[in-house]
Amino acid sequence: MPDEAQGYSAVAKSLHWIVAAIVVALVPMGLVMTDLDHGPLQDRLFLIHESFGVSVLALMLARLAVRLRGAPAPLDTPADGGRPVSVLVHGALYLLLLLTPIVGWFALSAYGRGPSFFGLGQLPALIGKDEPLSKVLFAVHQIGGLMIAALVIIHIGGVLRHALVARDELIWRMLPARRAR
Protein backbone atom coordinates (compact mmCIF):
# COMPACT_ATOMS: atom_id res chain seq x y z
CA MET A 1 0.00 0.00 0.00
CA PRO A 2 1.46 3.40 -0.94
CA ASP A 3 2.34 5.72 1.91
CA GLU A 4 2.84 9.44 2.28
CA ALA A 5 6.56 9.29 1.56
CA GLN A 6 6.25 7.54 -1.78
CA GLY A 7 3.18 9.27 -3.20
CA TYR A 8 0.89 7.45 -5.57
CA SER A 9 1.91 4.30 -7.40
CA ALA A 10 3.18 4.46 -10.96
CA VAL A 11 -0.06 2.78 -12.10
CA ALA A 12 -2.21 5.35 -10.27
CA LYS A 13 -0.17 8.22 -11.71
CA SER A 14 -0.35 6.79 -15.24
CA LEU A 15 -4.10 6.28 -15.05
CA HIS A 16 -4.57 9.80 -13.66
CA TRP A 17 -2.60 11.49 -16.44
CA ILE A 18 -4.07 9.38 -19.26
CA VAL A 19 -7.63 10.12 -18.10
CA ALA A 20 -6.72 13.80 -17.66
CA ALA A 21 -5.38 14.04 -21.22
CA ILE A 22 -8.45 12.32 -22.66
CA VAL A 23 -10.86 14.51 -20.70
CA VAL A 24 -9.06 17.67 -21.84
CA ALA A 25 -9.78 16.54 -25.42
CA LEU A 26 -13.28 15.11 -24.85
CA VAL A 27 -15.02 18.12 -23.35
CA PRO A 28 -14.26 20.65 -26.10
CA MET A 29 -14.73 17.96 -28.74
CA GLY A 30 -18.18 17.22 -27.37
CA LEU A 31 -19.13 20.88 -27.50
CA VAL A 32 -17.79 21.43 -31.02
CA MET A 33 -19.14 18.28 -32.66
CA THR A 34 -22.74 18.99 -31.70
CA ASP A 35 -22.57 22.42 -33.39
CA LEU A 36 -21.17 21.14 -36.68
CA ASP A 37 -23.27 20.47 -39.75
CA HIS A 38 -23.97 16.82 -40.41
CA GLY A 39 -21.19 15.33 -42.49
CA PRO A 40 -17.90 13.46 -42.46
CA LEU A 41 -16.16 15.75 -39.93
CA GLN A 42 -19.00 15.48 -37.44
CA ASP A 43 -19.17 11.70 -37.97
CA ARG A 44 -15.41 11.39 -37.35
CA LEU A 45 -15.60 13.50 -34.17
CA PHE A 46 -18.54 11.45 -32.86
CA LEU A 47 -16.56 8.24 -33.48
CA ILE A 48 -13.51 9.64 -31.66
CA HIS A 49 -15.64 11.03 -28.82
CA GLU A 50 -17.43 7.71 -28.35
CA SER A 51 -14.16 5.78 -28.49
CA PHE A 52 -12.47 8.00 -25.92
CA GLY A 53 -15.61 7.91 -23.77
CA VAL A 54 -15.44 4.11 -23.68
CA SER A 55 -11.73 4.43 -22.87
CA VAL A 56 -12.44 6.80 -19.97
CA LEU A 57 -14.99 4.37 -18.56
CA ALA A 58 -12.53 1.46 -18.72
CA LEU A 59 -9.66 3.54 -17.31
CA MET A 60 -11.84 4.90 -14.49
CA LEU A 61 -12.87 1.37 -13.52
CA ALA A 62 -9.16 0.54 -13.35
CA ARG A 63 -8.50 3.76 -11.35
CA LEU A 64 -11.24 2.86 -8.92
CA ALA A 65 -9.78 -0.63 -8.44
CA VAL A 66 -6.30 0.85 -7.83
CA ARG A 67 -7.72 3.45 -5.47
CA LEU A 68 -9.63 0.85 -3.46
CA ARG A 69 -6.36 -1.05 -2.96
CA GLY A 70 -4.98 1.98 -1.11
CA ALA A 71 -3.82 5.54 -1.48
CA PRO A 72 -1.24 7.59 0.33
CA ALA A 73 -2.35 9.13 3.59
CA PRO A 74 -3.39 12.77 3.36
CA LEU A 75 -0.42 15.08 3.51
CA ASP A 76 -0.48 17.55 6.41
CA THR A 77 0.04 20.92 4.78
CA PRO A 78 -0.54 24.56 5.66
CA ALA A 79 -3.36 24.49 3.09
CA ASP A 80 -5.27 21.73 4.91
CA GLY A 81 -8.28 23.99 5.32
CA GLY A 82 -9.14 22.98 1.77
CA ARG A 83 -9.20 19.24 2.48
CA PRO A 84 -13.03 18.97 2.66
CA VAL A 85 -13.27 20.71 -0.73
CA SER A 86 -10.58 18.42 -2.12
CA VAL A 87 -12.37 15.30 -0.91
CA LEU A 88 -15.64 16.55 -2.39
CA VAL A 89 -14.07 17.49 -5.74
CA HIS A 90 -12.19 14.18 -6.06
CA GLY A 91 -15.29 12.17 -5.15
CA ALA A 92 -17.44 14.10 -7.61
CA LEU A 93 -14.82 13.68 -10.35
CA TYR A 94 -14.64 9.93 -9.82
CA LEU A 95 -18.44 9.67 -9.82
CA LEU A 96 -18.94 11.82 -12.90
CA LEU A 97 -16.05 10.24 -14.82
CA LEU A 98 -17.78 6.90 -14.30
CA LEU A 99 -21.41 7.97 -14.77
CA THR A 100 -21.06 10.37 -17.70
CA PRO A 101 -19.70 7.72 -20.13
CA ILE A 102 -22.38 5.29 -18.92
CA VAL A 103 -25.10 7.89 -19.56
CA GLY A 104 -23.55 8.48 -23.00
CA TRP A 105 -23.73 4.74 -23.69
CA PHE A 106 -27.39 4.67 -22.64
CA ALA A 107 -28.06 7.77 -24.80
CA LEU A 108 -26.50 6.13 -27.85
CA SER A 109 -28.43 2.95 -27.11
CA ALA A 110 -31.71 4.87 -26.96
CA TYR A 111 -30.69 6.56 -30.22
CA GLY A 112 -30.44 3.13 -31.79
CA ARG A 113 -26.85 1.95 -31.54
CA GLY A 114 -24.01 1.22 -29.16
CA PRO A 115 -20.83 3.29 -28.92
CA SER A 116 -18.11 2.73 -31.48
CA PHE A 117 -14.62 1.85 -30.38
CA PHE A 118 -12.08 3.40 -32.77
CA GLY A 119 -13.84 1.89 -35.77
CA LEU A 120 -13.08 -1.65 -34.58
CA GLY A 121 -16.71 -2.32 -33.79
CA GLN A 122 -19.57 -1.21 -31.65
CA LEU A 123 -20.40 -2.09 -28.09
CA PRO A 124 -23.90 -3.49 -27.62
CA ALA A 125 -26.87 -1.24 -27.01
CA LEU A 126 -27.91 -1.27 -23.35
CA ILE A 127 -31.58 -0.41 -23.97
CA GLY A 128 -34.00 -0.40 -26.89
CA LYS A 129 -34.37 2.45 -29.34
CA ASP A 130 -36.28 5.41 -27.92
CA GLU A 131 -35.31 8.68 -29.61
CA PRO A 132 -37.16 10.99 -27.18
CA LEU A 133 -35.32 9.29 -24.29
CA SER A 134 -32.04 9.61 -26.20
CA LYS A 135 -32.47 13.40 -26.35
CA VAL A 136 -32.95 13.56 -22.58
CA LEU A 137 -29.98 11.28 -21.96
CA PHE A 138 -27.73 13.24 -24.33
CA ALA A 139 -28.66 16.42 -22.44
CA VAL A 140 -27.79 14.72 -19.13
CA HIS A 141 -24.53 13.49 -20.69
CA GLN A 142 -23.66 17.04 -21.81
CA ILE A 143 -24.41 18.42 -18.33
CA GLY A 144 -22.14 15.71 -16.88
CA GLY A 145 -19.36 16.78 -19.26
CA LEU A 146 -19.74 20.43 -18.27
CA MET A 147 -19.69 19.49 -14.59
CA ILE A 148 -16.51 17.49 -15.18
CA ALA A 149 -14.96 20.55 -16.86
CA ALA A 150 -15.90 22.74 -13.89
CA LEU A 151 -14.51 20.22 -11.40
CA VAL A 152 -11.27 19.91 -13.39
CA ILE A 153 -10.85 23.68 -13.19
CA ILE A 154 -11.45 23.58 -9.42
CA HIS A 155 -8.99 20.66 -9.13
CA ILE A 156 -6.31 22.54 -11.07
CA GLY A 157 -6.96 25.58 -8.90
CA GLY A 158 -6.37 23.48 -5.80
CA VAL A 159 -3.16 22.07 -7.25
CA LEU A 160 -1.93 25.57 -8.07
CA ARG A 161 -2.83 26.74 -4.58
CA HIS A 162 -0.70 23.98 -3.09
CA ALA A 163 2.19 24.53 -5.50
CA LEU A 164 2.31 28.32 -5.63
CA VAL A 165 0.74 29.57 -2.41
CA ALA A 166 1.25 26.86 0.21
CA ARG A 167 4.46 25.69 -1.50
CA ASP A 168 4.04 22.25 -0.04
CA GLU A 169 4.98 18.82 -1.42
CA LEU A 170 1.48 17.73 -2.42
CA ILE A 171 1.93 18.22 -6.17
CA TRP A 172 4.90 15.84 -6.23
CA ARG A 173 2.77 12.91 -5.12
CA MET A 174 1.03 12.72 -8.53
CA LEU A 175 3.75 13.92 -10.89
CA PRO A 176 5.55 11.21 -12.88
CA ALA A 177 8.87 11.78 -11.07
CA ARG A 178 9.31 12.63 -7.39
CA ARG A 179 11.40 15.61 -6.46
CA ALA A 180 14.04 15.12 -3.80
CA ARG A 181 13.02 16.94 -0.64
Give me the pLDDT at residue 179, please: 55
- Distance between first and last Cα of the chain: 21
For residue 2, what pLDDT band results from cuts at 50, 70 and 90? very low
Residue 5 resides in a domain: no
Q: What is the CATH number of the domain that holds 75?
A: 1.20.950.20
Give me the pLDDT at residue 4, please: 39
Does position 158 have pLDDT exceeding 70, yes or no?
A: yes
Q: What is the mean pLDDT of residues 142-163?
A: 92
Residue 116 resides in a domain: yes
Does position 180 have pLDDT exceeding 50, yes or no?
A: no
Does position 105 have pLDDT exceeding 80, yes or no?
A: yes
Residue 166 resides in a domain: yes
Residue 24 resides in a domain: yes
Residue 142 resides in a domain: yes
Residue 181 resides in a domain: no
Q: What is the mean pLDDT of residues 111-136?
A: 95
Cα separation, 27 vs 142, whole angstroms: 9
Does position 30 have pLDDT exceeding 90, yes or no?
A: yes
Q: Total domain count for the chain?
A: 1
Give me the pLDDT at residue 76, please: 63
Residue 147 resides in a domain: yes
- What is the span of the domain harbouring residue 109? 10-173
Q: What is the mean pLDDT of residues 92-118?
A: 97
Whole-model pTM: value is 0.88
Give me the pLDDT at residue 70, please: 80
Dihedrals φ, ψ of 42, to 5°?
-65, -40
Average per-residue pLDDT for the chain: 88
Give me the pLDDT at residue 153, please: 96
pLDDT in tens, 34-82: 999 999 999 999 999 999 999 999 999 999 999 898 877 666 655 566 6
Residue 30 resides in a domain: yes
